[in-house]
């Protein structure tokens, strides 16, 4: 049996509605840094490996754990956020302005629609998560994966066997994602039995 832990980054500048930055450069806020420090003090598992997406906010959260456990944090691009709004199209906008464009995206997106050449289409994002699932047996037991809430949601969706091929599928996924508890520094635990049965559930530190 193997167990993996998926951890959303701490509060980022974008989470506070700050002006747009290139997605890869968005840092943790002071609050986000404190959240990561508080989380590592409560975390009950000694990790075997630590991975993060290549986005700064995930790397900064992972680094707190890497420092404590003296394990290098390795970058996995397949953990990257779904960056569906091109930076050139949101440059200078605040969070409220970005939300309007995000709403339009989720109302109309097709699986191969791309907002800008520097953004993801949904298929890019889906392929990353599916590739992770394909490679899941190659990761060590008690590995930690630092990334993004929507990534965790799509992992859950795919482990449930749900398809994403049409705009209606994308809308259904969005409804599913927004119903999940995905606050900053939330943890999800994935247990994989010896016969390959996968169970993903929210990991509550208070119950440990």
pLDDT, one tens digit per residue, over 187-201 is 999 999 999 999 999
* The predicted structure's pLDDT at residue 98: 97
Q: Region 91-99: what's the mean pLDDT?
A: 97
* The predicted structure's pLDDT at residue 205: 84
pTM value surpassing 0.85: yes
pLDDT exceeds cutoff 70 at 208: no
Q: Region 38-47: what's the mean pLDDT?
A: 96
pLDDT exceeds cutoff 80 at 80: yes
Whether residue 152 contacts residue 8, with contact meaning beta carbons closer than 8 Å, is answered with yes
pLDDT exceeds cutoff 70 at 109: yes
Tokens of 49: 């490996």
Give the chain as a 3 state SS string.
CEEEEEEECCCECHHHCCCCCCHHHCCECHHHHHHHHHHHHHCCCCCCEEEECCCHHHHHHHHHHHHHHCCCEEECHHHCCCCCCCHHHHCCCCHHHHHHHHHHHHHHCCCCCCCCCCCCCHHHHHHHHHHHHHCHHHCCCCEEEEECHHHHHHHHHHHCCCCCCCHHHHHHHHHHHHHCCCCCCCEEEEEECCCCCEEEEECCHHHC
């Amino acid at each position: 049996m193997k167990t993996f832990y998926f951890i959303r980054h701490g509060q980022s500048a974008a989470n506070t509605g700050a002006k747009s930055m290139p997605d890869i450069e968005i840092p943790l806020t002071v609050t986000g840094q404190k959240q990561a420090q508080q989380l590592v003090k409560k975390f009950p598992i000694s990790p075997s490996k630590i991975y993060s997406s290549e986005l700064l906010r995930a790397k900064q959260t992972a680094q707190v754990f890497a420092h404590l456990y003296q394990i290098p944090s390795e970058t996995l691009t397949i953990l990257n956020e779904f960056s569906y709004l091109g930076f050139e199209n949101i440059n200078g906008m605040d969070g409220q302005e970005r939300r309007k464009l995000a709403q339009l995206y989720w109302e109309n997106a097709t699986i191969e629609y791309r907002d800008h050449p520097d953004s993801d289409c949904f298929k890019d994002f889906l392929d990353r998560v599916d590739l992770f699932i394909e490679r899941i047996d190659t990761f060590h037991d008690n590995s930690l994966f630092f990334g993004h809430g929507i990534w965790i949601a799509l992992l859950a969706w795919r482990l449930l066997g749900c398809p994403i091929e049409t705009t209606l599928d994308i809308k259904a996924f969005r409804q599913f994602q927004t119903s999940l508890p995905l606050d900053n520094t939330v943890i999800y635990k994935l247990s994989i039995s010896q016969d390959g049965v996968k169970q993903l559930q929210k990991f509550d530190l208070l119950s440990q």
